[in-house]
Structure 1
Amino acid sequence: MSRTARLLLTILAALLCAVFVPRAQAETGYYRQFRIFIVSSYHRTYLWSQDVQSGLCAALLESGLLSSIEEQNEFTEKDVLENERVVLRKVWMDTKRKNSRRQIADAVAQIVKEVEEFRPDIILLGDDNASNYVGNQYIDTAIPVVFWGVNGLPVRYGLIDSIDRPGHNVTGIYQAGYLQENIIFLKRLVPEIRTMAILSDDSPTGRSKVKAIERLAETEELPVKIIGSVVTNAYEEWKERALRMSKKVDSFFVLNHNTLKDVNGNAVDQLEAGRWYLENIRKPDCAQEKQFAQEGILLVVDDSGFKQGFDAMKVALDILLKGQDPALIPVTAPTRGPVIINRRRAEMLGLDISGIDFIEQYIDEAMALQP
């Protein structure tokens, strides 16, 4: 090969490197250290939040931004992690227990301060309160925002123009709920049920799901008749009305019960309320998230927290690593998770669940009934 040919090959190789190496680095994300700020509406011990955290971490591991289970565990335990590829920071609004207007405003002010200090490349916002109250602080700013866990269509918070074309710096993942599917599968499991009541706290999450079920009932798309709903944050009232309703119906749709308060205004733990319900209401029941099957509810068609976290982080990584524009990324809902049965609740209700072919996952214990 002549000197001229070798020189031309050298120049060509250099040009190829200049074009393709930066592109490869951009696709892997390893050419720089990304700063990701995550806000959860809730608290660390909330079962839904734990499921979401597993999904967030699974996506980070898959991308290589987290390199090991040890790093995942460190981030989950400490809410901070830094390696050569990523700096992670997570904060909790704790709005299941601290949900007055003043408490939420104080939480938002503190988060805005921490965001300014952290200087993130992207912000992830978990569930309705963070998406609404924090998200509206950053719409149309230079920081991309990705939400997860918004109940129903997220257009109502003013963060996006439409599901298909968000139009701003915000996109994300919403919860479809799979409320109709829950009722249909409960009817298949217990064909004799004819009537149902809805039991919920008076939280944004609970209210939105009650309205969604009531809309389904109005359009006659349910195999049972919805007789009424209990929506309150007063624990004693919640119990009293649940007992009264149990005399009128033969099944329950149990929604969120995380913002209940006792007569002194103290937060009532979800599992405490769950224990009372399981011990005092002996009716077939369903709920929409795995956490409630873990608690002890009979049947769940899972609107998966894991999928919410995983899909939201995947969208965030597409923005960071591939340069995608959030204004053009459609807002989506994950496919449903498994049909889950709690064996202990089935036993309490005297139900024979052997040979049921549509059950996809079993849970043997009820966390709310543990000592």
Structure 2
Amino acid sequence: MRFLLLALLLVSPLCFAKTVVVIESYHDAYQWDADYIAAIQSELGESHEIHVLALDTKRLPKSEWPQQAASVQERVAALQPDLAILGDDNAFSLMAGYLVRRQIPVVFLGVNGGPNQHPELAHPLVTGILERPFFAENVRHLRKVLGQSDRFLILMDDSPTMRNAVTEYFGEERESSLYGASLDIVLTNDRDTWLQKVFTAHEHYDAIIVGTHHTIRDQADRYVPPAELMNRAFAYAQVPIFSFWDIFIGKQQSVGGFTVSAHQEGLTAARLASLILSGVAPDRIPQMRSLSGHYVYSRSGMAHWNLELSSLISSQSSFVE
């Protein structure tokens, strides 16, 4: 069955034009959302009517999520879509139950939670891609890039996405080891704590690997733009900063890593949606994990940190800037 599914994902089945809603947890100015939405549009946009609805949960306080979800539900009711694509955990938590109660098939991407958090994952109308950071692959890769460095700080916001990813892989431990390297894992939504960890990282670590940093707020509970955080981190960190996601790599951001691709997640979700829109039942399509990572590096970041890649790694990498 898995081989058949992978073969079907290579093509876009023919079907009559239908209405698809893409419900994003966040907002279209967030690069992760922009990348997967562009991929979905490229795969489905010529054949189907696509509507993108934003829950905006990285910027809105949690107290406003129910009202925002109700507004999105009203839009869905008016559109009467044939299928919904849900991006990330918050969209799944807020919308999946509503959608399946209305008998609307669901394809998800970027979901880190499991059945305990998201019971609708077991619903026959639901399938998709469980997003998983490449923890082990990144550490193994970076030890080669840095010359067997063995002390890493994994720094993330304390969002549902990051808590789910870390807990599934490491359990409740926040100190661990992989491939002979020691890891300290810090999850925080406090701006000062996040920055202090960056500024003092050289005292304890050889490198920082960042996860998402989009639910961080200052002492006045104001939302802190991710670019502001990364610009300060880039300017003042004394050890290189790597990333689990390609969207955080670039000028004055992270230097690189073995990363999850939002574009690839969007393409895969769109191809699953095509199967369903062509008549394949969702429960006939196995849920899968992120299919593959890729090496991405920033040329300016490599110059800033005086990093060089081996000819083999360089030949396998994509470069920004």
Shorter-normalised TM range = 0.7 to 0.9
Whether the 8 Å contact between 1:217 and 1:225 is mirrored in structure 2 is: no
Instruction: Identify the residue that residue 87 of structure 1 maps to in structure 2.
Output: 49
Q: Deviations over 1:314-340 (max 9, x none)?
A: 11111112x111122110124223211
1:47-126 map, 5 Å: 47-60=31-44, 64-65=46-47, 86-100=48-62, 102-126=63-87
Aligned with 1:208: secondary structure?
helix
Question: Which residue, out of 284, 304, 313, partners 2:261?
Answer: 304
1:260-271 map, 5 Å: 260-271=216-227
Q: Distance in 1 between the 2:174 and 2:136 partners?
A: 9
- Residue 195 of structure 1 deviates from its aligned partner by 0.7
Whether the 8 Å contact between 2:35 and 2:262 is mirrored in structure 1 is: yes
Instruction: Identify the residue that residue 270 of structure 2 maps to in structure 1.
Output: 313
User: Does the C-alpha gap of structure 1 residues 106 and 292 become closer, same or farther in structure 2, counting only changes over 3 Å?
Assistant: same
User: Does the C-alpha gap of structure 1 residues 60 and 302 become closer, same or farther in structure 2, counting only changes over 3 Å?
Assistant: same
Q: Distance in 2 between the 1:147 and 1:299 partners?
A: 27
Instruction: Identify the residue that residue 8 of structure 1 maps to in structure 2.
Output: none
Question: Which residue, out of 331, 341, 348, partners 2:304?
Answer: 348
- Residue 45 of structure 1 deviates from its aligned partner by 1.1
User: Does the C-alpha gap of structure 1 residues 170 and 99 become closer, same or farther in structure 2, counting only changes over 3 Å?
Assistant: farther
How many equivalent residue pairs?
A: 306
1:177-216 map, 5 Å: 177-212=133-168, 214-215=170-171
Q: Distance in 2 between the 1:241 and 1:218 partners?
A: 15
Whether the 8 Å contact between 1:145 and 1:169 is mirrored in structure 2 is: yes
- Residue 193 of structure 1 deviates from its aligned partner by 1.2
Instruction: Identify the residue that residue 326 of structure 1 maps to in structure 2.
Output: 282
Instruction: Identify the residue that residue 250 of structure 2 maps to in structure 1.
Output: 294
Question: Which residue, out of 226, 231, 250, partners 2:206?
Answer: 250
Q: Distance in 1 between the 2:178 and 2:187 partners?
A: 22
Q: Distance in 2 between the 1:59 and 1:145 partners?
A: 17
TM-score (norm 1): 0.76
Q: Distance in 1 between the 2:246 and 2:90 partners?
A: 21
Q: Distance in 2 between the 1:153 and 1:290 partners?
A: 24
User: Does the C-alpha gap of structure 1 residues 222 and 154 become closer, same or farther in structure 2, counting only changes over 3 Å?
Assistant: farther
Matched letter for residue 174 of structure 1:
L
CA RMSD of aligned residues (A): 2.2
User: Does the C-alpha gap of structure 1 residues 43 and 171 become closer, same or farther in structure 2, counting only changes over 3 Å?
Assistant: same
Whether the 8 Å contact between 1:183 and 1:223 is mirrored in structure 2 is: no
- Residue 255 of structure 1 deviates from its aligned partner by 0.9
- Residue 138 of structure 1 deviates from its aligned partner by 2.4
- Residue 230 of structure 1 deviates from its aligned partner by 2.5
Q: Deviations over 1:60-87 (max 9, x none)?
A: 15xx50xxxxxxxxxxxxxxxxxxxx33
Q: Distance in 1 between the 2:197 and 2:142 partners?
A: 22
User: Does the C-alpha gap of structure 1 residues 52 and 187 become closer, same or farther in structure 2, counting only changes over 3 Å?
Assistant: same
Whether the 8 Å contact between 1:128 and 1:150 is mirrored in structure 2 is: yes
Percent pairwise identity: 25
Matched, 1:143 2:143: no
Whether the 8 Å contact between 2:211 and 2:245 is mirrored in structure 1 is: no
- Residue 236 of structure 1 deviates from its aligned partner by 1.5
Matched, 1:232 2:166: no
Which 4+ runs in 1 deviate beyond 4 A? 152-155, 215-220
Whether the 8 Å contact between 2:296 and 2:320 is mirrored in structure 1 is: no
Q: Distance in 1 between the 2:133 and 2:185 partners?
A: 17
Whether the 8 Å contact between 1:154 and 1:160 is mirrored in structure 2 is: yes
- Residue 158 of structure 1 deviates from its aligned partner by 0.6
Instruction: Identify the residue that residue 175 of structure 1 maps to in structure 2.
Output: 131
TM-score (norm 2): 0.87
